[in-house]
Chains A and B, each alone.
Chain A
Amino acid sequence: MKLDLLTSVYVFMLAAFIGFEVIRRVSPLLHTPLMSLTNALDAIAVVGAIILAGESHQHGGRLAKILGTIAIVAATSNIVGGFLITDRMLRMFKASGPRKQ
């Protein structure tokens, strides 16, 4: 499904507004998990890399495959590492109350 230029700009603008409104509400308490989570989500760029590495190309196919494959490795490590560490950090945040020991 192709987007025209103006639609792309609209999508970007609306997403930026949503981003500002949603992220403004994130407490400073959780700013580190916020950064690691957005980092993992940003690695959705992997979808572009997958298509690049998997498609057959008329010319320059070998380069596209090599670069695409390395790009998948980089993005996947961000997805896995990013979600893991975010969850690990969030597990540590506990409210006061009766604590084990």
Chain B
Amino acid sequence: MTGVPTEHIIEITYLIATALFILSLKWLSSPTTARRGVFAGEIGMLLAIVGTLMYHGIVEYKWIVIALVLGSIIGVPLGEVAMTAVPQRTALSHAFGALCVTLVGTAEYYLRAPSVPPFVMGVLSMEIILGSLTFTGSLMAAGKLQEILPQRPITYKGQNFVNLGLLAVAIVVAGVLVAHPEKMQLFPLVVGIPLVFGVMMIIPIGGADMPTVISLLNSYAGLSAAAMGFVLQSKLLIIAGALDGASGFILSVNMSKAMNRSFTNVLFGAFGQEQGGAGAGAKETRSARSASPEEAAAILAAANKVVIVPGYGMAVAQAQHKVRELFDGLIKRGIDVKFGIHPVAGRMPGHMNVLLAEADIPYDKLLDMDEINGEFSQTDVALIIGANDVTNPAARTDSSSPIFGMPILDVDKARTVMVIKRSMGAGFAGIENPLYYMDKTLMLFGDAKNFVGAIVRELAGGHE
């Protein structure tokens, strides 16, 4: 077979794959077409791989086939994890993506050195720096999410200086290599320093910041793949990397807004975050009112409109199926029930929606913060399950509060507020929540799963 026609066929498979990738993301915009989007992505991927395997330059297939099979075997269990484990799975897959890019970049350097054109060396360095810091950073994030590593942030004096210093050294070394690509002994530093930086970057970040971190690592993984596309001069790879980078970037911006962080703060990997405590305000002296499951059930049964606000505490208590039973019980009584989801309610963007969808709650009842906030003033009961800071009205009113300016769910505008919570303890940021001391608020102390279960039993018992 002559090379030329095959080359054209390969190019056409890449062209179709590119179009399918874009359509894939476009169809993901609505739950009704989203599965078609996955299918389009799969076809595009298959075409591109088959096209590549036709490339006449490939002389040996044995290892390619073994690797494809092995990767598929590893991939299947990674596609079968529990929905609560999706954040760590995602972090792990960012690590794998970054590993692939870093390894290819490293091999490309050693194949091309000592004569690498400055532009190629520049993008190659970018590919490797972003790839290796994303690799270790994502492994750290996955470890923290899986609770193999301690979740609490580890900070020390001069941390930002050390971290930024490391990154700066890696960039300087890369700069030297751009000018002198033949200095091959420097190359391991371009791989190694970012590997260390990736670890150091995640050490100071706590569990509650994970949505931002995962999005950021997503963006880095995409950009490193795009850089690989520049090195290999592959339009397909540049485009796929740019799409992934853009997606991660948008999600990072969303998350940073939802967490009330400046964007530069996020760009530098959420360095220098203030850990709460300071300025937490005067100790509350007022007392909170508590209620029993029977009282809570009676109030819910009398309501016309209920908004449930779930937080990660609900998922930790594995209460989502009990919440579904509560939802069913209330719907059966003709009560309008909706869910108000804060962008950072889970451990990654959109995570809470997946957990509730898994519990069989219809997606049209899951409203994001902007959609639900206008409805609280007509809501009889706002039921908060395992969420704290995202409902704290101090974010709106108290300029001395550390979370002042953070967008919150306006649950305090509902007629009655009920909060299921283990104790009066403050949230992750250690901030008092004045919501708990309002006259309209009832505290429901207990484990989320048991308490919701008790309400469900009360509602069922008193029904008809």
The residues of A with any CB-CB pair to B shorter than 8 Å are 1-3, 5, 8, 11-12, 15-16, 18-20, 22-57, 59-60, 63-65, 67-97, 99
Contact = CB atoms under 8 A, between A and B. Distances in A.
B431 interface: no
B103 A68 contact: yes
B17 to A, nearest CB: 7
11 contacts: A12-B230, A12-B239, A28-B343, A35-B247, A35-B251, A39-B218, A45-B237, A49-B103, A76-B70, A78-B97, A80-B78
Interface in B197-251: 214-215, 218, 221-222, 225-226, 228-230, 232-251
A37 B41 contact: yes
B225 A73 contact: no
Contacts of B97: 39, 42-43, 45, 74-75, 78
B52 A55 contact: no
A32 B71 contact: no
B369 to A, nearest CB: 8
Contacts of B221: 39, 42
B13 to A, nearest CB: 10
Given A31-B350, A35-B251, A49-B103, 20 more contacts: A20-B246, A26-B29, A27-B368, A29-B31, A29-B368, A35-B348, A41-B240, A43-B100, A45-B101, A49-B104, A51-B232, A53-B63, A67-B106, A74-B96, A75-B97, A77-B72, A80-B71, A85-B81, A92-B354, A93-B363
A2 to B, nearest CB: 6
Contacts of B101: 45, 71
Nearest to B63: A69
Nearest to A87: B38
A47 B18 CA distance: 13
Contacts of B31: 27, 29-30, 90, 93, 95
B360 interface: yes
A20 B244 CA distance: 10
A64 B103 CA distance: 9
A16 B246 contact: yes
Contacts of B21: 41, 44
